[in-house]
Amino acid sequence: MNDQQLLDRVARVRAFNRLYTGVIGVLDEGLVGTEYSLSEARVLYELEQQGVTEVTELRRRLALDAGYASRLLGKLEQRGLLVRERSGSDARRQVIRLTDAGRAAQHSLEQRTVEQIGELLGRFTDEDQHRLLKSMQAIGEVVGERNSDATIVLRPPRPGDFGWVVQRNGAVYAQEYGWDATYEALVARIVADYVEHQVPAKEAAWIAEVDGERAGCVFCVRGSDEHTAKLRLLLVEPAARGRGLGKRLVAECVAFAKAHGYRAMELWTNDVLTAARVIYAKAGFRLVASEPHHSFGADLVGETWRLEW
């Protein structure tokens, strides 16, 4: 990324920040029409909704330095909304609890926030609401902490999934490796052939979901002979990497092949796909052939990998 690209991207992020802070009223004198600032409202929220009881944990969650946290808590304490005390089990630790007035203030803030966001969503159609929420989820996945408790599911494809496989393969490989539209065309032919000619006893495909969102795919199809299966179109979305999805998809593919009478599995890949090659090697595949070629607008080295059992 050059300097001009960086400046352009910074400007776009700042423009979004200005837009969204205006939409939710961060710059107003009080949050959601109350007397509380954003920082004060977040403290009340963490204490009531999240069950935070220690000052050190509150500081960590809100990324507050010790001095600012002390002043902020002092103001809320003076207004009778919380009480700070020494921990009974460890005098070095300071714990916090909301007073009845503090809990009432938090409940009022919560209700006003629900009403405000409900009014915001009410401006849009149901389709636009889903687009907005999905975009927010994407922002959270990129800039926030990865959710280690995410629900991961491998399932058979449903209508609409096959078009997604084609689109995401084309987009991801163009973005990460600069491949042109001929790769997307190849994926479209592979997917169309699978849909039109699938033999359920010998072929299958899986879509990986993370918290209900499509995050990856793989196909097991018939190979060069009746005893050999072929693994195709392994893909994991960039935002979903690091969760072991690729490993799980490959394992599912191999397990299907073993259970349905195959004695081996092959796949074709390219040497630039280093992460995928590591997954294949760890699954027991070995490189049996390689050959330079020019495809998808790039000079590549194609590789054939094989696993026997």
pLDDT the model gives residue 299: 95
Structure tokens at 227: 């005893």
Same domain, 92 and 166: no
290, amino acid identity: S
Residue 132 lies inside a defined structural domain of this protein: no
Residue 223 lies inside a defined structural domain of this protein: yes
The whole-angstrom separation of Cα 172 and Cα 170 is 6
Q: Which domain-ending residue is among 84, 107, 123?
A: 123
Same domain, 58 and 156: no
pLDDT tens digit string along 276-288? Answer: 999 999 999 999 9
**Using 50, 70 and 90 to split pLDDT, how confident is the model at 97?**
confident
Domain containing residue 295: CATH number: 3.40.630.30
pLDDT the model gives residue 293: 96
Same domain, 174 and 49: no
The residue-averaged pLDDT of 302-309 equals: 96
pLDDT the model gives residue 56: 80
The whole-angstrom separation of Cα 205 and Cα 164 is 13
Residue 268 lies inside a defined structural domain of this protein: yes
Same domain, 114 and 158: no
Same domain, 294 and 226: yes
pLDDT: is 266 or 21 the higher one? Answer: 266
pLDDT the model gives residue 190: 97
**Using 50, 70 and 90 to split pLDDT, how confident is the model at 85?**
confident
Residue 133 lies inside a defined structural domain of this protein: no
pLDDT tens digit string along 156-206? Answer: 999 999 999 999 999 999 999 999 999 999 999 999 999 999 999 999 999
Residue 147 lies inside a defined structural domain of this protein: no
Same domain, 303 and 260: yes
This prediction's pTM: 0.57
Q: Which domain-ending residue is among 123, 142, 160?
A: 123
Cβ-contact 307, 284 below 8 angstroms: yes
Residue 129 lies inside a defined structural domain of this protein: no
Domain containing residue 62: CATH number: 1.10.10.10
Same domain, 280 and 173: yes
pLDDT: is 22 or 217 the higher one? Answer: 217
The residue-averaged pLDDT of 23-47 equals: 71
Same domain, 206 and 282: yes
The range of the structural domain enclosing residue 293 comes to 152-308
Residue 189 lies inside a defined structural domain of this protein: yes
Q: Which domain-ending residue is among 104, 123, 142?
A: 123
Same domain, 156 and 113: no
Most confident of 15-24, 129-138, 206-215, 279-288: 279-288
Same domain, 173 and 281: yes
Residue 27 lies inside a defined structural domain of this protein: yes
14-23, 125-134, 151-160, 282-291: which has the minimum mean pLDDT? Answer: 14-23
What DSSP state is assigned to residue 54? B
Same domain, 104 and 168: no
pLDDT tens digit string along 230-245? Answer: 999 999 998 888 888 9
Question: What is the count of structural domains for the chain?
Answer: 2
Q: In this prediction, what percent of the chain has a pLDDT beyond 70?
A: 91
pLDDT the model gives residue 94: 79
pLDDT: is 206 or 83 the higher one? Answer: 206
Same domain, 34 and 94: yes
Instruction: Answer yes or no: is pLDDT of 147 > 60.
Output: no
